[in-house]
Structure formats: structure tokens, C-alpha cells
Chain A
Amino acid sequence: MKNNLIISIILLFTFTLKAQDSVNIKNSQKDTVLLWSNNTAKTIKKGRKEIGLFAPLKIGLKDSMEISIHPIFFFIIPNIELKKYWTSFGIFDLASKHRFSYPTLLYNVISKRGIGGLLPSTSTIPQMFKFDNSILLGTTINEYITTTINVGVDLTLSFGESNFPDIEYHIIYPRTYSLNNLFTPYFGINFTGKFFANVYYEYKFTAFFMTNTNQGSILENKLKFQWNISNKFAISGGALLTYGQYPYGQDGGLFPVFDLMYGF
């Protein structure tokens, strides 16, 4: 945990440095950072498409609406997400995200003997329909800082006999908790903007609230930097720090974040 504390301080310090720099810069080129998709209330432009090595395929259906699917995983975990920009009032933008996925197929695949068996082969997987809905409220202060608050609930409706354990691994646990526990509320705040030249930063804090008794919350801090090589290519990298209450006790973890993205 000592290492995690050091990394937390580095994450916080690097972010604070840049935030201090940005406050005196005039409000200009607000949308530069939004050329690429992000976790703000803004959507990508109509007709633009983006895909990452790990990130899903995103398509701007309208200037105010984008749709995304994860094509690689689509055949074992059918999924679709719609992001809708609704309106602006004053300096704030309002949007919502609606994601549907069907994890039953994937869970049947990973309930197996041997390597890749994340769950026991004796697991009974029900029909599971997972809905993740969130509201995003954001404001762009200048090209160096856009702040977005998001609040959401991950809800899973299950049908049929069910008997499988949770996947109690840092980043997976809060995202799959609703499969066995109906729903997971979460709250987050995101800061993103230009760091220097074509390098952008994104800091995202998310708190997941575990709804069963004696289970608290899991906090995630993600800091990543994205180098927009051009309008078509971008590279991002950073780290995700998690900490919270798991079934086995309090725990934390540090994970690298990396992606290669192509937009057109």
C-alpha cells in the first residue's frame, strides 16, 4: 500500500500542477479537445468514427448523438451504447449515456475448467440483461480544463436459475457487481484538457457503491495522457489506481492504461 500512496501523490500532484497553470488562460478553442471522444457531456461530430485497440467503435450519428459498440467482444458480449447531448444551460452541458449488454454468453464461456476459467465450471448462469444509464453534466472552462460530473446506475435484470460467484478482481468487480446484486450506483468527476502541444490529459475519479450489506465503496482514480498525432491517430497511456472494500477486505491496485486509436 506504500507504493499505492506514492503513486496517488504523484497523480494528484501532476494534475494539480496543470490545473494551476490553466486557470489564467483565456477561454478559447473549447472544442479542440473534443475532436476525440472523451468522458465529457460533448459528443463527437456527425459522421466521425473512432476505434481503438481496446476502446469501442464510436460513430457520430448526429452532432448531438454518438453510438458505440465493442466489435471484438460483440459476439460473446453483445453490447451497444448511446450517448446523447441534450442541451446547454448557462455554461453547462447536459448529456446522458445508455449502455446495454448481454453478458450471459461471456459468462458461460468463462465458466470452465482450466486456463480462462474465471468462474467454476459448475456455475449456473442465468439470462442477464445489463443496463447502465448515466447523466453527465459538464462545463468547459478553457482549452485546458473541461469538468464533467456523472451519476449513474448499473442495473442487471436476471431470469432463470442463478449460481455463480462474483469476479472479485479490482477493476472488474465494480463493473460486474450488478450481475449478482441487481444494481450498482456510481458517481464520478472528470477533468480533461490540453496539457501541452498535442498532448491532452484526462483525470477521472469514480466511486462505485456496493449495495449489499457490509460492502462499502470502491474508488477509482485514472490519469492518462493522449497524444493526438493527427486528426486520425492518437496514442494514450496512463494509470488507474483503485481502492476500496472488497469481499475479502480493503484493497487497492494500480493498473496501466494504454490504447492506440484511429479516427476518421
Chain B
Amino acid sequence: MKKIFVLLGIVIIIFQSCDPFNNIIENDSETDAAFYYTTDNIVTPVIKDTLTIASWNIKFGGGRIDFFFDCYGDRVLMTKDEVISNLKNIVDEIAMISPDILYLQEVDIDSKRSAYVDELQWILDNTNLNYAYYGSQWKSDYVPSDGIGRMNSGSAILSKYPLKDAKRIPLPLIEEQSGIVQYFYLRRNILRATVTINNKNIVALTTHTSAYSSDGTRLKQLNQIKTEIDNINSAGQKFILGGDFNTIPPNSTVYENFDDDACKDDPDFAAQSFKDQLDYMKMFIDSYEPAITQANYDNDNSLYYSFTSDKKGFWNRKLDYIFTNGDFVDNSGVVIQDINTGGMETMPFSDHAPITVKYILK
């Protein structure tokens, strides 16, 4: 009997050891993989007729440090002082926007590259936002590549109002990757939670789809996101979806040969081309209301560009979006590019510019 118990113990031990780097976020349930945050300094929000919604990929508080992955530099790790300094710029920008609901992408909560600063907690503690949910998209006890080391980075929904019923819904992995690369690579997802304002429920969703894949993974991810919001819509609920879709809008006049492609000679970093992907976002734009209407975008693409990897250049493509099945205030969508467009200089803070819009609370 004892021998059976011991053998059973050994089997359990071996079974428990199958994910030695704790990379597989999906080992947790969808609800367990969404982590709740709050701040000690709750600021009671005023109920308004319109809500300010914002979405921003903050590049893990890396500012415009030249990191190895965008070919402009070789940095891998930041000091704590660098991270805090960059986060101060980010919270200044958030204070100016004063969002009621904020979607963040590339937030590090426990990463060696950002000196183990819990950036989400730091942002909550230094803004008027009170509550948040976090869903990891890149988690590993140790990424054995490029000196990256320990990693926990993901997306977050922050709100002045209470959040509940959060889930981290996994998106398809990049199939063309080898098993070992896939094991250590980013695991994209939809993070959703319900915001209750004035007894009205709104489903808040954020996402960050794959940047590099040639096997159609991003389209599969976009289709799944579309299905998710279609289901919410069919159930008669209101939603606001925001995030970094890594995809440019239809009718973009520039879709390849971007002026910030610095990795031309590096086979690991193929220059981005959206030539065959110009209709990827059409399904969202046709079905729901975007923060930036297609007509406005068609009128002048460059006003709504939200990304560049070159700190010496300027925003050169639009990757960030907000959609709803409710109502946005007409023409309230803005990409905060600089003082002239949005009212604040954002180029030094991240490789993405924040996008904001006013939502009509009915």
C-alpha cells in the first residue's frame, strides 16, 4: 500500500513538473488568469453622461530607449530609475486624458527587463483610476533568449468604476513556430471585464494581436475577437473594445516600406507589410462604431497614425482602435500624436500613441 502511495506521489510530482518555466498561462482557468488590482486611494468618481475611453500600448514603460528588438539599439534591461521615470511621463499623459476606462497593452508586472516594477500597480497608485484587471500575454520564469530572463507582461483594463466578472480568453498561438519557440513566446488573448456605472453594465474588452506571423494567425485571432463581441452584442449587452490590433485600416495609403523599418538585414525581423491584409479590420468597422470613423481616416490617414519604432521619426501607421456597439460622441476620436494633435507630446513615452474617444452613457 505504501509503495503504491509512493509511486502515486512520484507520478503526481512528475505530472506537476511538466511546465517547468510556468509559461502556459492557459493552465489556469479563464477567470483565474485575470488578476484583480485596486489602489489604497480610491477616488469616488462623478457619474457623467459621457465616459472618456482610452487605449494605449505603453511599451512596458520603456519610453524611447533603443531596445534590441526594434533594431535601433541593443538594450535589454532597464534600471528601476529608468522605468519609474518613464512611468511618470505615462501617468502625466493619463492625467491629461483623464479616462474613465483605460486599456493598456504591454504592461509589465514582474519582468526583469523592467526591474521587476509592478507597472500596473504603480499606474493605479498614481492616477485617478481605482480598479484594474490584468491578463498576462507573456509569462515565463525565464525566457532563455536575448538575455530577457523573467517575464510577466500583458494587457490591463483600468477603471474609475468597479470591475467584475473578468476573464482572460486565449487567442490562437502562432502555428508556424517550433514547439520550443512557441512555448516561450507570447500568448495573445482577450481580456474582458464588466464595468457597472449608474446600474448600467458595459463589457470592457482589450486585446493585443500578434505582430509577426505569416501563417494567418493574426486573422484567426481577429476572427475570434469579432466572434466574442458579436456574442456580447447578440446577448443585448453593450461593449467597448480597445487595443493594439497590429493591423492597419482599409484604404491605408501606406501599407509597406515604412520609414522606421530598421531591421532590413535581420532575417528574424521581417519588415512589416500589410499589402494583403488591408481588409482585415473591415469586419469590425462595418459592424460596429469605431472611435476613428473610416471617413475621417480616409480624409487624412496621417492624423490617426499611432505607431512608429523610430524615436527620431513620427507616427507612420495606425494599429490601435476602439470599437463599440453603443454610441461614441461624433468625431470625438483622437490619436494623441503631439501638442498639435491631441494636446500633448507623446512620441517620447512609447512606440504607440494613445487613442481616446467619448462614449455616450445611455
Contact = CB atoms under 8 A, between A and B. Distances in A.
Interface of A: 3, 6-7, 10-11, 13-14, 17, 111, 113-123, 165, 167-170, 196, 225, 237-239, 247-249, 251, 253-256
Nearest to B68: A113
Interface residues of B, number: 32
A237 B144 CA distance: 25
Contacts of B74: 120-122
A248 B10 contact: no
> Which of B2, B13, B112, B142 counts the most A-chain CB atoms under 10 A from its CB?
B13
A7 B144 contact: no
Contacts of B144: 115-118
Contacts of A114: 145-146, 268
Given A10-B13, A256-B17, 20 more contacts: A3-B16, A6-B12, A17-B2, A17-B6, A111-B147, A116-B145, A117-B145, A117-B146, A117-B147, A118-B147, A169-B150, A196-B3, A239-B13, A239-B14, A248-B110, A249-B110, A251-B141, A253-B141, A254-B16, A255-B17
Contacts of B12: 6-7, 10
Contacts of A169: 141-142, 149-150
Contacts of A170: 141
The DSSP consensus for interface residues of chain A is mixed
A123 B74 CA distance: 11
Contacts of B343: none
Contacts of A167: 142, 149
A109 to B, nearest CB: 13
Contacts of B141: 169-170, 251, 253
Contacts of B110: 248-249
B76 A120 contact: yes
A256 B13 CA distance: 8
15 contacts: A3-B16, A7-B12, A113-B146, A117-B144, A117-B148, A120-B76, A121-B68, A165-B77, A165-B149, A167-B142, A168-B112, A168-B142, A239-B13, A247-B116, A256-B17
Nearest to A196: B3
Nearest to A17: B2
A6 B74 CA distance: 43
B150 A248 contact: yes
Contacts of B75: 122
B76 A14 contact: no
Contacts, number: 99
B181 interface: yes
A247 B38 CA distance: 24
A252 to B, nearest CB: 11
Contact of B181 (A14, A115, A123, A251): A115
A48 B66 CA distance: 56
A33 B22 CA distance: 36
Interface of B: 2-3, 5-6, 9-10, 12-14, 16-17, 20, 22, 68, 74-77, 110, 112, 116, 141-142, 144-150, 181, 268
B146 A120 contact: yes
A255 B141 CA distance: 13
A114 B180 CA distance: 13
A201 B3 CA distance: 13
Nearest to A195: B6
Contacts of A17: 2, 5-6
A7 B8 CA distance: 12
A114 B146 CA distance: 5
A168 B77 CA distance: 13
Nearest to B112: A168
A91 to B, nearest CB: 28
B150 to A, nearest CB: 6
A121 B146 contact: yes
A151 to B, nearest CB: 28
A116 to B, nearest CB: 6
A14 B9 contact: yes
A17 B14 CA distance: 20
Nearest to A118: B144
A251 B9 CA distance: 22
A7 B76 CA distance: 36
B257 to A, nearest CB: 25
B60 to A, nearest CB: 15
A123 B142 CA distance: 17
Nearest to A173: B142
3 pairs of A and B residues whose beta carbons are closest in the complex: A120-B147, A120-B76, A239-B13
A120 B77 contact: yes
A150 B350 CA distance: 52
A168 B12 CA distance: 26
Contacts of A117: 144-148
Nearest to B9: A10
B115 to A, nearest CB: 9
A237 B10 contact: yes
Contacts of A3: 16
Contacts of A11: 9, 13
